[in-house]
A and B are shown apart, each in its own frame.
Chain A
Amino acid sequence: MCKGKSEHTNEGSASVPLEKLTQPGILLLLVKDKSHGYELIQKLNQVEYIDGELEAATVYRTLRRMEQDGLIESRWEHGEFGPARRQYEITDYGRETLKHWAGGLKSRMKQIETFLENYYGLMD
C-alpha cells in the first residue's frame, strides 16, 4: 500500500537531516517486531542515534502521521482480559522507505568522512 510519500524519504540522499531520526528509528524498530506506542517511546529513548529525550506526544503524533502516509499500519491488540493498545506494523512501503533512508544516511556518512579527512589533513 502506498498512500503518499513522506517528506524525508525517497528524496535526494544529501537532504537527510541527521537530527531528525525519529521516523526511520520507528521504522527500524518495527522491522524487528510489531510494537505499540508506549513500547516504542521506551525503546526510542534508549537508542544511541537519537539525541536528547523524545517527548511522548511527538512520538504518538509521528506514529499517526506515518500511518496516514502508509508507512505503518495499526490494529488494536489485546488478550482475553486487560488493556487493548494500538499495535503498529511496518508496511511494504515503510520497508522501501527505510531502505532509502539507510542509503541516504550512508551517502551522508561518506560526505562527513570526506569532510573530516580533509579537515584533519590540513590540521595535522
Chain B
Amino acid sequence: MCVENNELKILHAGALRKPMKECVQMFWKRFPDVEVLLDYSGSRACARSVLEGKNADVIALADPHVFEDMLVPRYVDVFFVFATDQMVLAFDDFSRKSRSIDNENWMEVLLEQDISFARSDHNHDPCGYRTLMLWQLAEKYYEHNDLFNNLNSKCETNWIYPKSIDLCEALLEGRVDYAFIYSSEAEQFGFKYLKLPNKINLSSPAHADYYAQVTVTLTDSNGRVSLVKGAPIEFAVAIPRTSANKVLANEFIRILTSSDGEKVLESCGLIPC
C-alpha cells in the first residue's frame, strides 16, 4: 500500500540535472511545503539502485531502453518519453587543436598523440554506450577502417567517467581536451561543439534502421551481460510502483511535460517530444 507524505524523491540521470532542478522550482510554486530530494547518477546506475531497494517517487532516465531492460514490469509499468537530444563532440578554447578541428578532421585530431578525449562508462551511463555506437557508426559512415578500435583503445580508463555530466566538469577543468556528450550539456556549460552528421549523432528516428546496425555489450556488477542496439536518443520518466507519493509524482510529471516544462527543456538544450 502506498503511503502519501509530504516528500518527493526524484532519481534522475546526471544529464537531466539542470532541467530537473528548474522543474522542481516550478513544482515548488504550486507545492511550496513539499520537501524534494534530488539524487542523480548514470541512468543504468540509477536503475540498478532501484533494483537494490532504493526508494524513489519519480525516475527520469536518459534512455527508455534502461526502463525496458531493467525495470519493466517488476518496478515500472509505463514510462513517458518526453525529450530527445543528439551526441556532439564538445571542447573549449583551451582544448588543444580547438582552432583547427572541424567536421572533416575530428577523427584524425582525436587520434593525435598529445590530444586527450573522454567518454562516460557504457556500463553505467547511456551516453557512454552511445559514444561507442557513434564511433562504430562513424567508421561505417566515413569508411574509416579501424576507427572504432583506434578511438576505443586510445580512450584510456582514466578518461572514462561514470556519467556524462562528469565529462563536462573534466572539460571545464582542462583534464581532457574533448568529450563526447549530449548537445544539451554542451549548451548548458557553454562549450563549443561539433555537430556531427545525423547518420551518426543518434538524433533522428529517420535513421533508426541505420543506428540499429551497431550494438554495444554491457556488463553489470554481477557479471550479467546484455546487448544494447543503436537507437535515436530519447529521455523518459516514470513513477515506480513502489512510490510512496504517487499523487505528487504525477503532479511533477504533469509539470515536466506541460508547455512550461517544455520551455524549461528547450532552454536547457533538450528537444521536448
Contact = CB atoms under 8 A, between A and B. Distances in A.
Contact of B272 (A53, A64, A79): A64
Contact of A83 (B79, B204, B259): B79
The winner among B80, B81, B84, B232 for most chain A CB atoms within 10 A is B81
Interface string A31-62: 00000011101101100000001111100110
Interface residues of B, number: 25
Given A38-B273, A60-B271, A83 B236 contact: yes
Nearest to A39: B205
A87 B206 CA distance: 18
B198 interface: yes
B203 interface: yes
Given A38-B232, A42-B206, A82 B68 contact: yes
A78 interface: yes
B78 A81 contact: yes
B212 interface: no
A74 B77 CA distance: 21
Main secondary structure of the interface of B (DSSP, over half): mixed
A56 B73 contact: no
Interface residues of A, number: 26
Contacts of A64: 259, 262, 272
Contact of B64 (A57, A68, A83): A83
A56 B78 contact: no
A43 to B, nearest CB: 9
Contacts of B262: 64
Contacts of B72: 81-82
Given A37-B273, A60-B273, A84 B205 contact: no
B273 A55 contact: no
Contact of B81 (A39, A44, A83): A83
A76 interface: yes
Contacts of A57: 84, 203, 271
B109 interface: no
Given A45-B206, A86-B273, A60 B84 contact: yes
Contacts of B79: 82-84
A86 B198 CA distance: 23
Contacts of B273: 37-38, 60, 85-86
Interface of A: 37-39, 41-42, 44-45, 53-57, 60-61, 64, 68, 76, 78-86
24 contacts: A38-B273, A41-B205, A41-B206, A42-B205, A42-B208, A45-B206, A53-B198, A56-B205, A56-B206, A56-B232, A57-B203, A57-B271, A61-B271, A64-B272, A76-B80, A76-B257, A81-B72, A82-B79, A83-B67, A83-B79, A83-B80, A84-B79, A84-B81, A85-B81
